[in-house]
Structure formats: C-alpha cells, structure tokens
C-alpha cells in the first residue's frame, strides 16, 4: 500500500492549483486523471477581472488577481515555458452612451485601476468600432492546453500522475484514512469540474453544466495583437490565428461541437470585424457552474475525508490560485472557508 497525504482526482486548473499548494507545503500526493474532458483545455485563457457587459468588477476579483498573475508566472518558471503573458483587453464601444458609462465606471474606486480613462480611436479598418475602445489594464492570457500538457508531463516525471479513468467503486474508508486501489491517503480531493456529475459522492443538484464553444479562425488582414471584446472575445494566438467565442448552453451536456454554436459565433463575429476569415477549427467544453455563481469547496457532513474543489464556472483561471490556498488552509490549518464558497451552504438547504 502506497501512503500519501492526498489523492487528487482531476487535472484541470483546480487540480493544478491544489497540486501547487501541496508542493509549496511539502505534502505528498498522487493525481488520477484520464487526460481529457477538462474545460480548462478549451477555454479562451483570458484573465480579466472586469465584467465588460456592465462595466463592473467581479466579486473579489481584485483580491483574486493579486494571487493569479504571480501564480502563473511561477508555473512558467517551473515548467520552463511561457504560460502567461500580459495582454490588454479592448472593449468595443457601441455608442456614445457606452463611452460615457465607461468613464463613469472608471471613476469608481474599485475600477480605477483597471479601466483606462482614455477612449482609444479605432485605426484598424478591419474592425467595426466607430465609437472606439476602452482599454482594460491588469489583464492577460494563459495558454491552457500548453499548461495542462506540460504540467501532466511534469507530474509523470515525478511519478505523481496515474493516467486512468477514476474508479469510484475502488474508494473506501478505514481508520480515518481514504483508500483507492493500492493508495492510502489522509484526504481525497475531487477537482473534476463538470465531470463531477458522474461522481457518486458529489450531489449532482449542486452543479449546473454550461456548455461553451469556440471557433478558431485564420484572418491574415485582421492584424490584432490585443484581446478584443464585443459580442464575443477575439483572442490572438499568433500566425494570423484567433480564438473566437464563447457560447453558453445549459441544455446540451455533450462535448460535441455544433453547427448552431458555430453559426452563432460567426454571426456575432461579423458585427465586430470587416475582413475575410476562414474557420479552421472548433472546440467545445463544459463549464462547472453553480446557481449562485459561487465555487463549491470543502467537504459534506457524511465524510470529512472526501473533499471537493469545484464550481469555478467561467472565471476558474482567475479564481483557482487563491481558492486553492483557502482550501489548503481549511484542510491543514483549520481555517474556516468563507460561507459563500463552502459546499455545505447547499447541503443544509436540502437536508
């Protein structure tokens, strides 16, 4: 029997963030991951604290951001590859009224750091932006697929990754220990994202699956270096390639791409750009969202050995680094989780 401090199930951004906490505190662990289905892999990778539809700041976004950027920079050093780059977001204005609303929002204390007071004129004939742009500071982009691939290889080299489908029937508890096959641990942490709906220990009613799709386009004359935000995000990838999206669909829980989503994205894209483009790829993933849009961390009353780190929704890349530190402090230092992210806030309602 192999003894470790933690078993982690799933290697999306939640799993990676918690692994980093365990490395930081010299804890032993094993990760079990089958190598697909992580919504992190298909995400746009945009780190943005501002809700650009309404010009508001997300809950605790400033606090998250203080942890997020150093976290990705440290992983870049560890993996010896660039995982994160600073990249501004340009919000396309649709009217004089939106320009005015931007200026008003930028005067608010919580937003003044992020919203540039300058209205940027559009000089790119390939972009539809007669009212110009507002620039968001403190934003950036990570490379999700690269992160997952390199981090998985990093764990494999240290014999910390089991590349297999997790078998829930092989989980047992004895003597205040959790066991999985020939591994014994003090805790098991499920960081499965939307795949948690298949987990018999996880209450399915806590999670709402939200499908998102992106298209990849080639547009040689677009010539955009910043992230553009209009009806969709246009994210530059280099070599005249751009990722465009995303859609939101709570009715379809498949991982399959759809023509309906592609057509929806293209329709909105044409409201943003004037140049020709070619669709060269399309991807789909399932976001793990929650009714109150708050994460699900901690354990349920039936077992304090089974721990959950889920419900990160559309801002998982921004929130995961700080949330992982809060979860670690809860498990190791008995520091209470904030009630609004504690999974037991729903347990009491249905008991």
Contacts of 92 (CB under 8 A, 6+ apart): 127, 128, 129, 131, 133, 228, 229, 230, 272
Residue-level pLDDT at 351: 42
3-class secondary structure, 297:
strand
Task: Give me the mean pLDDT over the 270-274 stretch.
Answer: 97
Q: Which of 30-34, 288-292, 306-310 is predicted least confidently? A: 288-292
Q: Report pLDDT digits (tens) over 137-158.
A: 989 999 999 999 999 999 999 9
Q: Per the omega criterion (within 30 degrees of 0), is the bond before 274 cis?
A: no
The model's pTM: 0.92
Of 253, 269, 287, the last residue of a domain is: 287
Do 280 and 164 share a structural domain? no
Nearest to 161 by CA among 144, 149, 172: 149
pLDDT band at 350 (very low <50, low <70, confident <90, very high): very low
Of 287, 303, 333, the last residue of a domain is: 287
Of 255, 287, 319, the last residue of a domain is: 287
Q: Quick count: other Cβ atoms within 10 Å of Cβ 179?
A: 18
Distance CA 56, CA 300 (A): 33
Of all helices (H) and strands (E), which one includes residue 298?
strand 296-299
pLDDT at 21 over 70: yes
Contacts of 159 (CB under 8 A, 6+ apart): none
pLDDT band at 204 (very low <50, low <70, confident <90, very high): confident
Distance CA 5, CA 7 (A): 7
Do 129 and 216 share a structural domain? yes
Nearest to 233 by CA among 255, 209, 260, 212: 212
pLDDT at 300 over 90: yes
Residue-level pLDDT at 42: 82
Q: Report pLDDT digits (tens) over 63-81.
A: 899 999 999 999 999 999 9
40, 13 Cβ separation under 8 angstroms: yes
Query: What does the buried/exposed string (b/e) look like for 42-77 if buried means 16 or more CB atoms within 10 Å of the residue's CB?
Result: bbbbbbbbbebeebebbeebeebbebbbebbeebbe
Residue-level pLDDT at 36: 58
Task: Give me the mean pLDDT over the 185-211 stretch.
Answer: 93
The domain of 217 spans 87-139+208-287
Residue-level pLDDT at 349: 56
Do 263 and 149 share a structural domain? no
In sequence order, the β-bridge partners of residue 179 are 172, 184
Total tally of structural domains belonging to the chain: 2
Do 246 and 275 share a structural domain? yes
Residue-level pLDDT at 150: 95
**Where on the phi/psi map is residue 293: left (φ > 0), alpha (ψ -120 to 50), or beta?**
left
Is residue 74 in some structural domain? no
Distance CA 46, CA 241 (A): 16
Alpha helices in the chain (DSSP H): 13-24, 39-42, 61-79, 96-106, 144-157, 259-269, 316-333, 344-350
| CATH number of the domain encompassing residue 236 | 3.30.9.10
Q: Report pLDDT digits (tens) over 237-257.
A: 999 999 999 999 989 888 899
| CATH number of the domain encompassing residue 18 | 3.50.50.60
Residue-level pLDDT at 61: 84
pLDDT band at 62 (very low <50, low <70, confident <90, very high): confident
Do 186 and 249 share a structural domain? no
Is residue 61 in some structural domain? no
The two three-digit tokens of residue 314, written as one number: 């559309």
Do 306 and 200 share a structural domain? yes
Q: Report pLDDT digits (tens) over 84-126.
A: 999 999 999 999 999 999 999 999 988 988 999 999 999 999 9
3-class secondary structure, 105:
helix
Do 253 and 191 share a structural domain? no
Do 280 and 151 share a structural domain? no
Residue-level pLDDT at 146: 93
Do 309 and 203 share a structural domain? yes
Residue written as token pair 């789909």: 284
Please tell me what DSSP assigns to residue 126: T
Do 280 and 315 share a structural domain? no
Distance CA 270, CA 222 (A): 12
Is residue 54 in some structural domain? no
Distance CA 241, CA 220 (A): 8
Is residue 228 in some structural domain? yes
Do 281 and 219 share a structural domain? yes
């Amino acid at each position: 029997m192999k003894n470790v401090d933690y078993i982690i199930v799933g290697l999306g951004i939640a799993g990676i963030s918690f692994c980093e906490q365990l490395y930081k505190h010299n804890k032993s662990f094993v990760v079990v991951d089958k190598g697909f289905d992580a919504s992190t892999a298909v995400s746009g990778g945009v780190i943005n604290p501002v809700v650009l539809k309404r010009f508001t700041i997300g809950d605790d976004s400033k606090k998250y951001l203080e942890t997020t950027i150093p976290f990705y920079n440290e992983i870049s050093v560890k993996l010896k590859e660039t995982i994160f780059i600073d990249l501004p977001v340009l919000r396309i204005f649709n009217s004089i009224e939106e320009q005015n609303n931007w200026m008003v929002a930028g005067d608010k204390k919580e937003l003044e750091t992020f919203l540039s007071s300058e209205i940027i004129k559009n000089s790119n004939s390939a972009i539809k932006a007669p009212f110009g742009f507002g620039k968001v500071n403190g934003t950036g982009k990570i490379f999700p697929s690269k992160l997952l691939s390199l981090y998985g290889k990093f764990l494999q080299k240290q014999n910390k990754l089991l590349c297999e489908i997790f078998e829930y029937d092989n989980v047992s508890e004895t003597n205040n220990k959790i066991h999985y096959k020939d591994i014994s641990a003090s805790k098991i942490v499920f960081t499965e994202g939307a795949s948690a709906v298949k987990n018999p220990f996880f209450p399915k009613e806590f999670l709402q699956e939200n499908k998102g799709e992106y298209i990849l386009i080639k547009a040689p004359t677009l010539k955009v270096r910043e992230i553009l935000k209009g009806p969709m995000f246009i994210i530059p990838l280099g070599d005249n390639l751009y990722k465009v999206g995303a859609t939101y669909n709570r009715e379809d829980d498949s991982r399959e791409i759809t023509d309906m989503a592609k057509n929806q994205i293209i329709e909105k894209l044409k409201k943003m750009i004037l140049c020709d483009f070619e669709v060269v790829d399309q991807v789909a993933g399932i976001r793990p969202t929650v009714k109150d849009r708050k994460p699900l961390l901690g354990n349920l009353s039936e077992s304090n050995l089974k721990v959950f780190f889920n419900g990160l929704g559309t801002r998982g890349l921004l929130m995961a680094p700080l949330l992982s530190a809060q979860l670690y402090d809860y498990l190791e230092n008995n520091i209470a989780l904030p009630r609004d992210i504690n999974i037991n806030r729903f347990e009491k309602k249905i008991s």
